[in-house]
Structure 1
Amino acid sequence: MARGSSPFEEVERLFDRMGEMNRGSGLAVDLEDTGDAFVLTADLPGFDREDIDVELREGSLRISASRDESASHEDESYIHRERTKRSINRSVSLPEPVDKEETTATFKNGVLTVQLPKSRASEDATSIDIE
């Protein structure tokens, strides 16, 4: 327990840290209906474009991102490390069919934006390139 703090403050800090860890393991997304398209926005700080996969399959959009810090940092001078590997997966159901051929994705400043124009697309899986 930290000097000068009560046991209740310690418990509150513990709950805050647990909440931060749970939020960090998921992927929060926004899905906007602009009328003629859906626009999905997801924050992926710390990832590079090459770390991210976006796939449109059977009425849902799947986003996965993975990075491994340990391969690039083999320095033994660390006292404590928590950022060695991170992996996120999320599937979002789309309320209407989209035109998979016109779907685009961009990644800038840690933010993934996927434009999904509405249509009567087939249910085949399609991988989406990120610009």
Structure 2
Amino acid sequence: MMWRRRHIFDPFYELKRMEEWMNDLMGEMQTAGGLLLPESTGKEVAPISRVPSIDLIDKGDTLVLRADVPGVDKSDISVNMKDDMIEISAERKGEEEVKEEGYIRRERHYAKYYRAVPLPASVDKDAITAKFENGVLEVTMPKVAAEEVKKIEVK
């Protein structure tokens, strides 16, 4: 019979305990419906949420954000500006029914897109424009002039 002495430090036992603790923590976050970090763009974040692929282009005096949200109607897209971050959310819903002799098949699908993107520069919130064409959302944001830094002399 092998006895385990508690006063001897076992690094593998501690690593195993830490792994179990992290698995429990991530499981609780996922069941609570909170957004977890995705493996990559386009992958599911929560059971029905997706992170759209984006391009953020700095064109000197404007920032242009392009996001892929395929299969979504223009009326189901929401673009919000919070502090120095832009949020894009969209929902895609659909239902299909096929009636043939001897059976009826009904299918429903639902997907939600969400992405919050921190902006590298301050933008004019009142002059932001957005257009949606062929599954691509394009948001144009004019930059505002950066405030000059005033040096204060220490006496």
TM beyond 0.5: yes
2:105 partner letter:
Y
Q: Is 1:57 paired with 2:82?
A: yes
CA deviation map 1:50-100 (0-9, x unaligned): 010000111000000012214xx4557337x4x610101000000111001
Query: 1:93 and 1:114, CA in 2 relative to 1: closer, same or farther beyond 3 A?
Result: same
**What is the RMSD computed on CA atoms of the aligned residues?**
2.7
CA deviation map 1:81-127 (0-9, x unaligned): 4x610101000000111001111000011110000000169xxxxxx
> Which of 51, 55, 66 is equivalent to 1:26?
51
Secondary structure (helix, strand or coil) at the match of 2:43 reads helix
Give structure 1 stretches of 5+ with no counterpart. Answer: 1-18, 122-131
| Bigger relative contact order (CA 8 A; separation at least 6) | 1
Count of residue pairs brought into register by the alignment: 99
Q: Is 1:118 paired with 2:139?
A: no
Question: Counterparts of 1:33 and 1:62 in 2: how far apart (Å)?
Answer: 18
Query: 1:101 and 1:48, CA in 2 relative to 1: closer, same or farther beyond 3 A?
Result: same
1:22 partner letter:
K
Identity %: 39
CA deviation map 1:20-78 (0-9, x unaligned): 972792211000000001000011110010010000111000000012214xx455733
Which residue number corresponds to residue 90 of structure 1? Answer: 115
Normalised by the length of structure 1, the TM-score is 0.66
Which residue number corresponds to residue 66 of structure 2? Answer: 41
Give structure 2 stretches of 5+ with no counterpart. Answer: 1-39, 147-155
Question: Counterparts of 1:97 and 1:20 in 2: how far apart (Å)?
Answer: 25
Bigger radius of gyration among the two: 2
Q: Which runs of 4+ in 1 moved over 4 A?
A: none
